[in-house]
Amino acid sequence: MNKSKAVILSSFTTLIIAAATFSYIYFNTNKAVPHIEPVLEGQSDFSVIQSRDLFQENQEANDEISNSRHNIITKTVKRISPAIVGINVTEIRQYRNPWSMDPFWRQFFGDQVYNREIQGLGSGTIISKDGYILTNDHVAGNGVKIIITMTDGTQHEAKIIGTDQTSDITLLKIDVDNLPFVELGDSDDIMIGEWVIALGNPFGLFAVNDKPTVTVGVISATGMNLGAKENRYYLSMLQTDAAINSGNSGGALVNSVGQLIGMNTLIYTAQGSSGNVGVGFAIPVNKIKRIINELKRKGKVDRDFWTGLRVQTIDDGIAKYYNLKNTRGVIITNVEAGSPADKAGLETTDVIKKVNDFNVSDYNSMANILQEFMTNDVLNMKIIRNNKELNLKMKLERRND
């Protein structure tokens, strides 16, 4: 019995010792261990620090690259895009039945003329916070209903304040206040080769997401005299390689800081091509300023003037007879008494070489140049008389003044 008690006591003592030993090992091996960076084989603590610094530098470099994408062009586009609008125009055009040209048909059925609604589209630029919008005459000048679509998706009906077919400029107005608008710049301060941005509504794409399409290029040339097309006269045009396509007409051409320097109007298309080939033309903003001021005041541009001049293109025979160096210019063949030309002192056989800043090359160029001016403008006429260069002033007056 005593022997059994001794065995039990010995076992109990052994259990207590084992429990104590297990507790000691458990609590000492589960203390908090400081975090250790994973180190590759052969990598020292200094290498770990270098890795951290390199990661930080790479992250900063990536951030800098991302930020550098926000350049002056992207900032300008973001700022002025809300001032670009899409324009949908409804025109009424008259059509004559081809059979009406036949006298026999016309005798029985009369001269059949009917109206047809024609839908068109183009671009426009808001130029004042009270809702004046600039576009081309060939876009909206004959519109009976004009709908303006803004970048916020809203639509407004516009009215025509005035239009000028000769310069291809129309001024519209919507009854909305506090609008974003594009500041008018100075087209005389343009540098050939400077960056420009063309914004507009080519092919009606504005309607897809209520945002203008943006293309970027440079000013390729200034002072481009393109002559007349459908009774519209295009002189002193800006040439750009920024892509301009159908529907871009009336849209803004801005410089890199977002100032309006021109209105996209024409494109040159090579034979067999109907799209952009990198030669687009815009009306310079300084010309636009003059026209829209007249449209605001009168609704039209007053060109009811006369000169009293008759001129002729210079050919080789005339150049030789008058001992001229070349055939550029026009020769005056008649001056009406009491006319603006007579008052200016112009005479028969004078050769006109330049009108203001426009070089005169032939009869057509002279006729085109005169369309740039308004009644009461004073022109500086550079002429050759008896092989001497003279400068005379001619005021464009109304015939009934």
Q: How far is it, in rounded angstroms, from Cα 304 to Cα 169?
A: 18
Torsion of CA 12, 17, 23, 26, to 10 degrees: -120
Q: Is the distance from CB of 218 to CB of 194 less than 8 angstroms?
A: yes
Q: What's the CA gap between 279 and 286, in Å, rounded?
A: 21
User: Cα angle vertex 88, ends 84, 94, to 5°?
Assistant: 145
Contact at 8 Å (CB) between 380 and 391? yes
Tokens of 194: 């400077």
Among candidate residues 123, 167, 187, 249, the one labeled active-site is: 249
Task: Report how far Cα 394 is from the mean position of its chain's Cα atoms.
Answer: 35
Cα dihedral: 226, 228, 232, 234 (round 10): 20
Classify the C-alpha dihedral 374-379-382-383 as positive or negative: positive
Selecting among 137, 138, 220, 361, the annotated active-site residue is: 138
CB atoms within 10 A of CB 327: 16
Q: Residue 76's closest CA among 214, 275, 270?
A: 214
CB 122 within 8 A of CB 87: yes
Strand bridging mode 143-149 / 132-135: unpaired
| Residue among 164, 168, 241, 350 flagged as catalytic | 168
Residue 123 known to be catalytic = no
For residue 235, how many C-alpha atoms fall within 13 Å in the half-sphere facing its CB?
23
Decide the pairing of beta strands 260-267 and 280-284.
antiparallel
With a CB cutoff of 8 Å and minimum separation 6, the contacts of 289 are 184
Told to judge if 81 belongs to the known catalytic residues of this protein, a careful annotator would answer: no
Name residue 325's amino acid. Answer: K
Q: Is 304 a catalytic residue?
A: no
Structure tokens at 384: 């050759």
First to last CA, the chain: 152
**HSE value, Cβ hemisphere, 13 Å, CA-based, for 58:** 6
State the catalytic residues. Answer: 138, 168, 249
